[in-house]
Amino acid sequence: MSGDRSSRARVHARVHGYVQGVNFRYYTTRTARRLNLTGWVANRRDGTVEAMAEGERLDLDEFVDFLHRGSPAASVKQVDVEWEEPKDEFDGFRVRYL
């Protein structure tokens, strides 16, 4: 990724901790929609939550900040983040079932 913070980007994140069964996906979806991001969020079988989002870099930075906090009942221990080039393949933000 270039250093241009006003450009479009894509973020792929894996959230570790107490993040399932605590409305994490609901709050993630609500946050992403408020920020006009597209993509998805899903529970993984290993107990993590995975998210993929595209949008303006500044909005994605705020989204990643949210992932570090999580929902009110969550206890986030670690967030693995990968920045990528956007692919414009999503038409909204939704919960995905893996």
Q: Which residues are catalytic?
A: 25, 43
Burial (CB count <10 Å: 0-12, 13-18, 19+), residue 3 = exposed
Q: Cα(85)–Cα(77) distance, rounded to whole angstroms?
A: 26
Q: Cα(9)–Cα(53) distance, rounded to whole angstroms?
A: 8
Q: Cα(23)–Cα(30) distance, rounded to whole angstroms?
A: 11
